[in-house]
Amino acid sequence: MDRIDFITSKIVTIEEAKRKVSMWRLKNDVVCFTNGCFDILHLGHITYLAKSASLGSRLIVALNNDNSVRLLNKAPNRPINNEHARAMVIAAIGCVDLVIVFNEKTPFEMIKVLMPDILIKGADYDAKELDKNHTKYIIGSDLVKANGGRVETISFVEGYSTTSILSK
């Protein structure tokens, strides 16, 4: 398998991810899950993903597809990079084990199906927030906690964001 095939093999459907997670669980791997747009990759993204991967044995990244990014109303011109390009870039990162592209506004259904051991978001969310209508609530955190998993947040690297890069 050449390197492009290896990178491409990390981009999977939810069904393929479910099979992989089942195999990982047989080996007692700790499965971590995070999600995002990851439009223009920068130091903040790399640090976030590396720290996320360090919390367990395997890291799954759920990537908003192009339509899903638009639903988030980040900016009228977003995403800058299309979903295939973003998925390939994220899959090329060594600490990322799987990438799943999703169409919904949130990855709730993926979390429900995969039931990660650790659900991870950026520190602009609050792992202790219980109000599902609160902007700091982490989607799927109730499911993960009820299943014996945990929810973690990771601080941002100051000065790095896609929005600030675009404004430059």
Chain Cα centroid distance, residue 98 = 10
State the CATH number of the domain containing residue 118: 3.40.50.620
pLDDT of residue 78: 77
**Number of structural domains, the chain?**
1
Q: pLDDT grade, residue 121 (50/70/90)?
A: very high
Once rounded to an integer, what is the mean pLDDT over residues 53-63? 98
Q: pLDDT grade, residue 74 (50/70/90)?
A: low
pLDDT tens-place string over residues 80-109:
899 999 999 999 999 999 999 999 989 999
Q: What is the token pair recorded at 110? A: 């993926």
pLDDT of residue 75: 65
Tell me which residue range forms the domain holding 7: 3-167
Q: pLDDT grade, residue 61 (50/70/90)?
A: very high
Q: pLDDT grade, residue 168 (50/70/90)?
A: confident
**Contact in structure between 53 and 59 (CB atoms under 8 Å):** yes
149 pLDDT above the threshold of 80:
yes
